[in-house]
Structure 1
Amino acid sequence: MQTVYDLGKGLRLVDLSKLVDPASESRRCRLDRFNTGGPIPDFHTNLDIMSHLGTHAECPYHHDESWPDVTEVPLDRFMGRGVYVDFGESIAPNGHIGAADLDRFGAKLREGDIAIIDSSYKLNPFTKDSNTELDKRLFVNAETAEWFRERKVKAVGFGDGVSIENCNEDVKPFHDILLAENIIFIEVLKNLEELKRDVFFLSFTALPIKGLDSSPVHAYAIEGLAEFS
């Protein structure tokens, strides 16, 4: 699948989504394709998938029955000025991303931005290697969440260099603090190494299905738009 497109006039389109293959996907993903047209082909497909499949947006309903589902989150929260914050190896493996780290690397973030955090310690999330000796990814916790809440970002995304499944003591407060403020998450972002800029337009719109706590999304960045530079 092509991941980078030259749109001309200095614009680049970068696909930031995981390619989901039902044959190898570890999460629920089944397709039932059938022909409703008989001799005149008219194919349809029944999808049997989970809401946290592939690259997906997590909304407040994910952590509280009274918080907004994907249809109650304003549409403009699923797009905007994206800022890629790559900590590289500035934090020790399996270290927590603290306020001081974000002060140093997140200086470009403004109120209403979408932050994408990453590091050099890459590992595919939600696999058998998660939380093993092979997993050196950075961690988030309550301190990380409070920093983003204070900056009033609209969403936080995660590259393969940041873990959000290490332990309940870190993951639960991180989710609860931000989701309570309708700050949504974009998980399992891919192809971030293809970005040439750290500020860009980002879109990751969820499916408008009432009652969904989260939704698979097709996330992409457009580099070179003056309004999002």
Structure 2
Amino acid sequence: MDKRVLFDFEIAFTNGGGIQGKDFRLDIAGETISDQALADYLVQDMRLLMVGSVKILNKQIIEEKHKRRPIDEASGTAHLIDLSHTIEHGLVTYKGLPAPIICDYLSREESRKTYAEGTTFQIGKIEMVSNTGTYLDCPFHRYADGKDLSEVGLERLTDLEGIVVRANYHETLDIDASFFQGKELRGRAVLVHSGWDQYWTTEKYFEQHPHLTEDAARYLVACGVKLVGIDSVNIDDTRGKSRPVHSLLLKEEILIVEHLRGLELLPDEGFTFSALPPKFKGVGTFPVRALAKIR
């Protein structure tokens, strides 16, 4: 049987007055729905302005045939997908680089000495190299006169039109220009899905891994892409000492994101990509919370 939510509500306006509703019924897709989701839906659906508090009261989930499409499956609602690995104490992202040290600078126990009874805080302390977790490379990472994180514009990092290029590591580790031909690339974030992220935190992750070839990098530069990401340990072949992909892309201010995850959850097109690092001066790479927004 379909599920519906039955509830009362009270909405107050910041400029005075309010409205109430009793025995309101809405179709839902799952077994439950949060009060916040209901509040947000009411405000949006009724096109309310200057809304203050919204109270959801006497909420019940009932079995009743749907009248229309469930509100939590409404068309046009953006769906966010996290494409970042979790950074934790002792995580090894790249063999040979130290793992982060994550600890308390001020513990909750120690904070009891400073604040009123029942009030505690934690202040964390983090020591790590900037190449940790899912991270973004900008030109300064490769070139001394290149833009650092503080100089990269937000338009290069946020809501970029995205495309996923599938290059299964079972078939090849050398991802050449042929994988990108015949696709709409200009001005986009190009995310390479190899499936290698399944080995994250294992020894195999650091072994021979999927990577772009030099001719792929040259092709992407010629096509005017804005960003290139990959779900493996490095966008370059790390068996040698040269890094042609980094060199070519970063010279043209094409940003790089390495150690992505979850690209199998994305459609090939029809999404935007964001990867925002802190605004550090004199730093060329740093962890990001990478995400896709599927329209």
Q: Give TM-score scaled by structure 2 length.
A: 0.63
Amino acid at match of 1:150: A
Q: Deviations 1:54-98 (Å, cap 9, x if unpaired)?
A: 011011111121111111111111121111111237x8433x222
Distance verdict in 2 for CA 1:162–1:72, change over 3 Å? closer
Q: Deviations 1:125-175 (Å, cap 9, x if unpaired)?
A: 68632464xx4x433122111011001111100024985343336x51111
Alignment partner of 1:103 is 2:181: yes
How much has 1:47 moved relative to structure 2? 1.6
Gapped regions of structure 1 (runs ≥ 5): 1-5, 225-229
Per mean C-alpha deviation after superposition, the further-off stretch among 24-33 and 119-128 is 119-128
Aligned 1:148-163 pairs, distance under 5 A: 148-160=220-232
Candidates 279, 284, 288, aligned match of 1:213:
284
Question: Which residue in 1 is equivalent to 2:125?
Answer: 46
Structure 1 contact 13–222 (Cα < 8 Å) conserved: yes
Candidates 106, 118, 138, aligned match of 1:59:
138
- Structure showing greater relative contact order (alpha-carbon pairs closer than 8 Å, 6 or more residues apart): 1
Aligned 1:1-229 pairs, distance under 5 A: 8-10=74-76, 11-22=78-89, 24-26=90-92, 27-33=98-104, 34-35=106-107, 36=111, 37-39=114-116, 40-79=119-158, 80-88=160-168, 92-94=171-173, 96-104=174-182, 107-109=183-185, 111-120=186-195, 124=199, 128-130=203-205, 132=207, 135=208, 137-160=209-232, 164-168=236-240, 172-224=243-295
Cα distance in 2 for residues equivalent to 1:131 and 1:204: 23
Aligned length: 209
Distance verdict in 2 for CA 1:15–1:161, change over 3 Å? same
Structure 2 contact 237–243 (Cα < 8 Å) conserved: no
Q: Deviations 1:160-214 (Å, cap 9, x if unpaired)?
A: 4985343336x51111111011111011111112224533111111111111111
Structure 2 contact 135–286 (Cα < 8 Å) conserved: yes
Amino acid at match of 1:119: S
How much has 1:122 moved relative to structure 2? 5.5
SS at match of 2:165: strand
Cα distance in 1 for residues equivalent to 2:284 and 2:73: 34
Give the share of equivalent positions with the same residue, in percent.
Answer: 23
Q: Give TM-score scaled by structure 1 length.
A: 0.80
| Root-mean-square deviation (Å) | 2.6
Structure 2 contact 212–237 (Cα < 8 Å) conserved: no
